[in-house]
Amino acid sequence: MKRLSYIFALCLMISAFSVSYAQKGKTEKKIIKTIDQNTEYYTNLLKEAVNINSGTMNFEGVHQVGELFKKELEALGFEAQLTSGEAFNRSGHLIARHNGKKGPKFLLIGHLDTVFEPNSPFQEWNMKNDSIMNGPGVADMKGGDVIIILAMKALKEAGVLDDMSIEIIMTGDEEKSGSPLNLSKKALTEGAEWADIALGFENADGDPRTIVTSRRGSLGWTLEVEGKAAHSSQVFSEKVGTGAIYETSRILTSFYNELSNEPNLTFNPGFIIGGTQVAMDEDGGGGSAHGKTNVVAQSTIVRGDIRAVSTEQLDQAQKTMQRIVTENYPQTKATLTFSEGGYPPLTRTDGNTQVLTNYNQVSQDLGFGSVTAVNPRNAGAADISFTAGYVNMAADGLGLSGADDHTINETGNLNMLPRQVKRAAVLMYRLSQK
């Protein structure tokens, strides 16, 4: 964590934010003018990127999108590279750096991949009307990537980029993280250690009146239960007990009864098999079960995830779940394991709230209305979560407004492209000033 003296100075600087910049000066007018003059070019860039299939496992396609954006950033004076993802079985990331002379250090986060692999029927953009584009990844999140690039263009043309220190990371595996996770996300954590402020360009909940100051972390879990196989006529007897399926039902019901009312905490059993014999597939996404109605079930396997808004909430929930698992029905035993790593929570901090305050002021100064924070229940895990605990200030959801992410109905609102760029570029400019 950065020195307390720097944090204090930064907060003092930002507290005067709205007073110093309540009216747009020449620099901000230049930023806005540049964005308006270049919107058509960058809209076409977005269309070109959307038409390149970059499903996470299509390494060549992800790399191709990275090359497209790398060229744009290099033209703006960034040193850019496409890294290898061989160590975590993915395409790798686009990392671009600009070393300035003063002010806070910014980490800007996007991703190159989408959920639509080459076998998807959804491959190209089309216009639903004069402003709504339907296309794979238009909102999640090639639109956000283009917003980053156009914001850099505007800052450069306004003559302020040279003084700014910025690292841009567009990951190649946000939609399906590589393994091991610590290698997949190493660039993000290293960037966060360097930076003071992290800004993510996901599209949040698709509403341009919101940004994300808190994201829930996610962690996988596996429940394995063993009972005593026997003829069903002996179920509930002292010698046989209840069997694995009854015990599994007890555990899941107890999870629900004890934890479901905890604010911003969810835990979902998404996969279950049980019977006399069970076998889970190697990838953990399926399996087989065999049994008979007149035999007490011997085994069950349940896989799910848990999402929490803070590390403390996650720890407490895990303790409760582990206690429940030990309170077994007769002749049963159960084991609950949590996956290594996972996405950490991005807990709302004073610094994150300050970004919202500043962004809200920018939006109002530009005539775009007020902005509030997304409810963490509506903000899933994302790459910016890996900056938690490193940067002084973080916010996400600065990307292109859209709807129906991860479906063939995904859309982005092209009318919102220049608006979102103006908000982001002016925010960064103001934060960069002392």
pLDDT of residue 20: 43
DSSP H or E run through 407: none
Domain boundary among 338, 370, 405: 338
Confidence of residue 239 (pLDDT cuts 50, 70, 90): very high
pLDDT of residue 8: 45
pLDDT of residue 379: 77
Does residue 3 fall inside a structural domain?
no
pLDDT mean across residues, the chain: 93
For the chain, the domain total comes to 2
pLDDT of residue 434: 64
Does residue 60 fall inside a structural domain?
yes
Domain, as residue range, for 292? 220-338
236: domain CATH number is 3.30.70.360
Same domain for 184 and 225? no
CA distance 103 to 113: 31
Is it the case that residue 197 has pLDDT exceeding 50?
A: yes
pLDDT of residue 16: 45
Give the tens place of pLDDT for each residue, 333-355: 999 999 987 899 999 999 999 99
Confidence of residue 10 (pLDDT cuts 50, 70, 90): low
The percentage of the chain sitting over the pLDDT mark of 70, rounded to a whole number, equals: 94
Same domain for 110 and 40? yes
Phi then psi for residue 278, to 5 deg, are -130, 150
Does residue 193 fall inside a structural domain?
yes
pLDDT of residue 102: 87
Q: Give residues with Cβ within 8 angstroms of 91, minimum separation 6.
A: 56, 58, 59, 60, 62, 63, 66, 85, 112, 113, 172, 173
Is it the case that residue 6 has pLDDT exceeding 50?
A: no
pLDDT of residue 24: 66
Closest C-alpha to 191, from 358, 391, 328, 13 = 391
Domain boundary among 338, 354, 379: 338
CA distance 17 to 13: 7
164: domain CATH number is 3.40.630.10
Strand partners, 390: none
Same domain for 152 and 66? yes
pLDDT of residue 2: 52
Does residue 376 fall inside a structural domain?
yes
Same domain for 171 and 242? no
The DSSP 8-state label assigned to residue 203 in this structure reads -
Domain boundary among 313, 338, 363: 338
Is it the case that residue 412 has pLDDT exceeding 60?
A: yes
pTM of the model as a whole: 0.86
CA distance 174 to 114: 8
pLDDT of residue 378: 82
Q: What is the mean pLDDT of residues 192-200?
A: 98
Q: What is the mean pLDDT of residues 268-291?
A: 92
Closest C-alpha to 110, from 153, 35, 168 = 168
Half-sphere exposure of 329 (CA within 13 A, CB side): 22
CA distance 63 to 84: 10
Does residue 363 fall inside a structural domain?
yes
Whether residue 180 is preceded by a cis peptide bond, meaning omega within 30 degrees of 0, is yes
Same domain for 298 and 154? no
Same domain for 137 and 248? no
Q: What is the mean pLDDT of residues 220-245?
A: 97
Q: How far is CA 156 from CA 30, 69, 76, 286, in A?
A: 10, 16, 7, 51
Find where tokens 């999640």 sit: 140
pLDDT of residue 286: 84
List, in sequence order, the alpha helices (H) in 215-310: 244-259
Give the tens place of pLDDT for each residue, 380-409: 778 999 999 999 999 999 999 999 999 999
Task: Tell me the pairing of strands 197-200 and 393-395.
Answer: parallel
Give the tens place of pLDDT for each residue, 89-128: 999 999 999 999 889 999 999 999 999 999 999 999 999 9
Q: Phi-psi region for residue 94, left (φ > 0), alpha (ψ -120 to 50) or beta?
A: beta
Per the CB < 8 A criterion, the answer to whether 204 and 396 are in contact is yes
Closest C-alpha to 386, from 205, 204, 198 = 198
Q: Phi-psi region for residue 152, left (φ > 0), alpha (ψ -120 to 50) or beta?
A: alpha
CA distance 77 to 156: 9
Same domain for 124 and 98? yes
Tokens (6 digits) for 323? 């206690």
Per the CB < 8 A criterion, the answer to whether 196 and 354 are in contact is no
Confidence of residue 4 (pLDDT cuts 50, 70, 90): very low
CA distance 336 to 223: 5
